[in-house]
Amino acid sequence: MPEDVYPDHHWPLLREYPALMPVLNPVALASLPTPVSALAAFGPHAWIKHDNITHPVYGGNKIRKLEFVLAEIRRYHADHIITLGATGTNSGIAAGMICAQEKLPCTVLMFPQADSPTVQANQRWMQHFGVNMENHASLWSAVLRYYLHPQRLRPKTYFLFAGCSNPISTFGYINAAFELRDQIRRGECPEPVEIIVPVSSASTLAGLTLGVALAGLNTKVTGIRVAAEKLGPFAACTPGVVERLERAALKIMHGYVPSLPQLRPPEVCMDGRYFGTGYGESTPEATAAISAFQEHIGLTLESTYSGKAAAAFLDKLANTRGPVLFWNTFNSRPFPAT
C-alpha cells in the first residue's frame, strides 16, 4: 500500500481521533484489517483474529507496532536500529525486514532460548534480512549491553526494546481494537466476551486493553503470560509494566485530543498459569493445543507464545458462555523462496 494513502479501514483510531495523525503519522506497512473468522471445529463460541497475516512477507503482531515505530525512526533520522531479543526472536525478524526495506543496519542483542525448529527457522529469517545477530551468554548480559551500549551516545542510533515494544508501538494495538470494533459493527463477528492474547514485552496487551476501553467494547482482554514476571529485582512481564505503557499512550492522546476524557488506565488482566518452566520452554498444554489447531484448522502455532495462549483459549471455551476470540500473533507466511 502506498504510504501516502490513509484509508479509514487501515487506521480507524485516526479516523476517530484525527488530531493524532500529524503526531503519530504512521507508515502503512501492514495488510489491514486482518480477517476475523469462526473456529467451528472448537465450538459455536470460538473465534480467531488473523494477525498471523499482517504482512505479505512476514506476518505477526510486530508489524502493527512497527507502523508507528518506523514513523518515529524516520522523525529521528536514525541510521542504525539496535534491539533486544531471544535467539528465536520474532521481533528481530520483523525489525530486520523493515530495516532492510529502509536500508538501515539492524542489530539484535540476543540472549539464549531453548532450541527448537521455530528458533532455527527464525535464525534463518534474520539471516535472510541481513540482521547482525550479536549473541550474549545470558539474558542479563544482553540487557546490560542494551542499556549500557556505547551507541547510546549517538543520537541517530534508535534503541528498540524487545518485542518492538515502547509507548509509541502501543498505538498499533489501540488501533487494532478499533479495527475489531468496526468488524463487529459490520457483522463479521460477534462482540467477544473475552480476547485471549499472549503477553511478553507488554505493548500488544497494553494496546488492546486500552483500545477496547476507548472503542467502547464490553470485552475482557486477558494476556497469557509467556515470560518471567521479573528480571532479578526488576518487573519484566507484570500488570504494572502493561499499565505503564497504557499511561504513556494516554498521556500522548490527552496532549493532542483535548476532547478525550481524563481516563484512568483500564485494569490489566494477566494469567500466568500457562507459563510453565521458562521462556521458550513448551508445556504439555501448549503441545496439545498446537496439535489441535494443526489437526482441526490447519494452522501452525509454536510453543513460546501462540501455543500457550491457544491452550488458555481452549480452556476458556470450555468454561465461558459467549464468544471468545483468540488473537493469533504468530507469523504464517512461508520462508521466501529466493
Q: What's the CATH fold of domain 12-61+170-328?
A: Rossmann fold (3.40.50)
Does the pLDDT of residue 1 top 60, yes or no?
no
- Residue intervals of the chain classified under CATH 3.40.50.1100 are 12-61+170-328, 64-164
- Mean pLDDT computed over 153-157: 97
- CA-based nearest residue to 277, from 269, 267, 285, 265: 285
pLDDT of residue 221: 99
Q: Report the pLDDT value the prediction gives residue 261, as an integer from 0 to 100.
A: 86
What does the pLDDT read at residue 6?
Answer: 53
The pLDDT of residue 3 is above 50? no
Number of residues that make up the chain: 338
Pick the CATH number of 64-164 from 3.20.20.100, 3.30.9.10, 3.40.50.2300, 3.40.50.1100: 3.40.50.1100
pLDDT at 112: 96
**Residue 89 above 80 pLDDT?**
yes
pLDDT category at 7 given cuts 50, 70, 90 is: low
Q: What is the pLDDT of residue 74?
A: 98
Residue 82 predicted with pLDDT over 50: yes
Residue among 326, 290, 301, 333 at smallest CA distance from 54: 333
Taking a C-beta distance cutoff of 8 angstroms, is the pair 176, 211 a contact? yes
Q: How many CB atoms lie within 10 A of CB 102?
A: 16
Q: Of 214, 225, 329, give the one whose Cα is nearest residue 260.
A: 214
